[in-house]
Amino acid sequence: MARNPIGLNLVTLKGGQEAGRLVENLERVREAGFDGVGLWLQTLKDWVAQGRSMDTLAREVEARKLKVDEVCFVAVPESSQDVDEPKRVFQWAKELEAGCVISIYSKPQNPVEQARRDWQRFMREVEKFGVPAAFEFIGSWTQYNSPVTALSVVEGTELGKIVLDTFHFWRGGCDLTEIPRVPAARVGLVHLNDVNDVSRQNARDSDRTYPGEGIMPLADICGGLIRNGYAGPFSVEVFGKVREDDPDQVCRHAYRAAAQLISKL
């Protein structure tokens, strides 16, 4: 049985968001053994500003037998008048054959009915590009802080999916029973990370660490996703002190930790 692909979100690396080091970082990712890569929007903007095209970048990715798992991120616009940037991002994602565009809902205080209307309006503008939009729930929010609440927003749109970030799942106090309540086809991506020994209520992004090296029940979370039919990528996304370390070492360490975890599921 083939394992799920493993990717690395370049935000994990020191200098990982710098367009001038993008090709160098793609090579690091390949050499470490990853199958895919996550790119940040500002990196793509800077790449274009330097006079380079998405076609050139796509060829650099393909030459290393990688896949762009995600482009991070766009904010769901507040009105139909604010869609120029999302459209540009989804066009770039299409050219890169990206698996999804991470999409953040910027009004978490809104009731679900309003959030659903905002999401549907957003999807009408971007679905023509054929790239899934993946709603990322945030664990510290009072709502839209779990896979089930995220699903309540995106369901009803063909290319609307969710991102399950293991940190936000844990930080939001989610229960493992939520996993089978989300159809595997609706999970666009899993952000894979662990957390240091801190309380769930006080955990911050800087408390993230390598998969399997913290206190999170990662085997239960990821195993539950796989048993539920999820066959997509696990994209390692770690903030905190690892971003101060040598990027070659971080790449190798991140791949070993993720591969060891996934191989046991």
Angle between helices 41-49 and 54-63 (to 10 degrees): 120
- Two tokens, residue 74: 């766009």
pLDDT at 98 over 80: yes
- 227-252 pLDDT, tens digit per residue, is 999 999 999 999 988 999 999 999 99
Tell me 5's DSSP state. P
The pLDDT of residue 2: 76
Q: What is the chain's mean pLDDT, rounded?
A: 96
Residue with tokens 């050139």: 56
pLDDT band at residue 1 using 50, 70 and 90 as cut-offs: low
Question: What residue ranges define each of the domains in the chain, with the CATH number in brackets?
Answer: 6-263 (3.20.20.150)
The pLDDT of residue 106: 87
d(CA 177, CA 140): 20
Report the predicted TM-score, pTM, of the whole model to 2 decimal places.
Answer: 0.97
With 0-12 / 13-18 / 19 or more C-beta atoms within 10 angstroms meaning exposed / middle / buried, residue 34 is buried
- 48-65 pLDDT, tens digit per residue, is 999 999 999 999 999 999
